[in-house]
Amino acid sequence: MVLMTNILILGGTTEARQLAGKLACRQDFSITLSLAGRTESPVAQGVPVRTGGFGGAEGLATYLRQERIHLVIDATHPYAAHISTNAAEAVRQSGVPILALRRPGWEPVAGDRWTLVDNVPEAARALGTPPRRVFLAIGRQEAGAFEVAPQHRYLIRSVDPVEPKLAVPDALYLLARGPFPEPDERALLEKYGIDAVVSKNSGGDATYGKIAAARALGIEVIMVRRPPLPDVPSAESVDQLAAMVDHLFEPVAERGV
């Protein structure tokens, strides 16, 4: 009889999907990947998926007990601070261990013109008063913050449509899913005469192309800093975190099952 280990992965990132696939190769692991449901057409995940919220930290703690979860892995987006905070509190309440997959953030290099801000509303103010051609690459959920600066011309890219559309006179919407190579990003910025890029410091390679392209073209990047996250055991890569999980739960053969 195989003794199953139930693992809940809080996902929504490429790394979460990759980690789920890697861990699912273990016959003694039962993997459930949780998605918030904010993306209308998520890519296939390859493991059982649970969609929607849990009802805060207490709701998640109840779920962990009811489903006999042995490990929670927080592999959410670096800006999903609310979910990460709830997860940390839920495991405290339930006594379930937690690990986090946290990709490193980008660091400015020679030639970058970064203006660092703490949040999206501050990014809107940082654009200044004179009209600019702005590439918004922060997703759809917080795009509305830029309605306070209607003098700018906006190019807005997101996976799903921005609804409702921004109440500004000049906005163009692009639907696309990364990765976005640097040459393509450079062509995009040149095509639309972009003179400011607004970005979150997501880290990773998939969306770094716009940062490299902005550097090559001498374009300012308004960079939204990452929010503080709970202090839990973490790794920076899928392989590193998978090794941590293997260390916690020795393979079946080694447990003598």
Give residue-wise pLDDT tens across range 10-32: 998 889 999 999 999 999 999 99
For the ranges 78-82, 122-126, 201-205, the maximum mean pLDDT occurs at 122-126
- Could you read off the pLDDT of 238-251 as tens digits, one per residue? 999 999 999 999 86
Residue 84 within any structural domain of the chain: yes
Same domain, 170 and 245: no
Structural domains in the chain (count): 2
Residue 38 within any structural domain of the chain: yes
The amino acid that residue 17 corresponds to is: R
Same domain, 126 and 214: yes
Its sign, for the CA torsion 245, 87, 14, 229, is: negative
Same domain, 99 and 119: no
Q: In 3D, which of 127, 56, 113 has the Cα closest to residue 85? A: 56
CA distances from 23 to 1, 30, 31, 60 (A): 19, 9, 7, 22
Q: Which helix (H) or strand (E) holds 51?
A: strand 49-51
Same domain, 234 and 218: no
pLDDT on residue 255: 44
Residue 109 within any structural domain of the chain: no
Q: Which helix (H) or strand (E) holds 87?
A: helix 81-94
Same domain, 169 and 97: no
How many Cβ atoms sit within 10 Å of the Cβ of residue 114?
A: 19
Range of the domain at 243: 5-104+228-255
Could you tell me how many residues make up the chain? 257
CATH number at residue 243: 3.40.50.720
Q: In 3D, which of 146, 155, 161, 223 has the Cα closest to residue 187? A: 155
Same domain, 26 and 39: yes
pTM: 0.88
pLDDT on residue 12: 86
Same domain, 119 and 217: yes
Residue 2 has pLDDT above 90, yes or no: no
Same domain, 124 and 220: yes
